[in-house]
Amino acid sequence: MKTKCLVLLSGGQDSTTCLFWAKKKFGITETVSFDYGQRHRIELKSAAKIAGLAGVKNSVIVIKEFEAIKYSALLDLKADVSKKHSLNKDLPATFVPGRNILFLTAAAALAYTKGIKNIVIGVSQVDYSGYPDCRGEFIKSMEKSLSLGMEYPLKIHTPLIKLDKKKTVLLAKKLGALDIMKHTHTCYEGANPPCGKCPACLLREKGFKEAGIKDPLKA
Amino acid sequence: MKTKCLVLLSGGQDSTTCLFWAKKKFGITETVSFDYGQRHRIELKSAAKIAGLAGVKNSVIVIKEFEAIKYSALLDLKADVSKKHSLNKDLPATFVPGRNILFLTAAAALAYTKGIKNIVIGVSQVDYSGYPDCRGEFIKSMEKSLSLGMEYPLKIHTPLIKLDKKKTVLLAKKLGALDIMKHTHTCYEGANPPCGKCPACLLREKGFKEAGIKDPLKA
Mean pLDDT across chain A: 90
CB atoms A106 and B148 under 8 Å: no
For A26, the 3-state DSSP assignment is: coil
For A151, the 3-state DSSP assignment is: coil
Q: Is the peptide bond before B194 cis (omega within 30 degrees of 0)?
A: no
- Using pLDDT thresholds of 50, 70 and 90, give the confidence band for residue A98: confident
For A129, the 3-state DSSP assignment is: coil
What's the CA gap between A16 and A172, in Å, rounded? 8
Q: Is the peptide bond before A193 cis (omega within 30 degrees of 0)?
A: yes
| Under 8 Å between Cβ of B200 and B163 | no
Amino acid symbol at B1? M
CB atoms B98 and A105 under 8 Å: yes
Q: What φ, ψ does residue B185 adopt, rounded to 5°? A: -125, 130
CATH of the domain at A138: 3.40.50.620
* A103: Cα separation from own chain's centroid: 10
- Beta strand residue intervals within chain A, DSSP E: 4-8, 28-35, 57-62, 118-120, 155-157
Q: Summarize pLDDT for A152-199 with one digit per residue, the tens.
A: 999 999 999 999 999 999 999 999 999 999 999 998 888 888 899 988
Number of domains in chain B: 1
The reported pLDDT for the residue numbered A204 is 93
Residue A80 exposed, middle or buried by CB count within 10 Å (0-12, 13-18, 19+): exposed
The share of chain B scoring above pLDDT 70, in percent, equals 94
Residue B55 exposed, middle or buried by CB count within 10 Å (0-12, 13-18, 19+): exposed
Looking only at the bridges linking them, the beta strands covering A155-157 and A118-120 are parallel
CB atoms B68 and A87 under 8 Å: no
For A55, the 3-state DSSP assignment is: coil
Residue among B13, B11, B75 nearest B203 (CA): B13
Angle at B10 between CA A108 and CA B178, to 5 degrees: 145
Give A22 or B84, the one with higher predicted confidence: A22
The reported pLDDT for the residue numbered A119 is 98
What average pLDDT does this structure show over B130-154?
94
Range of the structural domain that residue A188 is part of: 4-218
Cross-chain CB nearest to A65 (options B91, B97, B109): B109
CB atoms A98 and B88 under 8 Å: no
The reported pLDDT for the residue numbered B71 is 65
Q: Which of A93-97, A115-119, B36-40 has the lowest mean pLDDT?
A: A93-97
The reported pLDDT for the residue numbered A117 is 97
The reported pLDDT for the residue numbered A77 is 66
What's the CA gap between B119 and B108, in Å, rounded? 7
Chain A residues at the B interface, defined by Cβ less than 8 Å, are 59-69, 71, 87-88, 90-91, 97-98, 100-102, 105-106, 108-110, 112-113, 115, 132-133, 135, 137-138, 141-142, 144-146, 148-152
Residue among B96, B91, B167 nearest B127 (CA): B167
CB atoms B149 and A137 under 8 Å: no
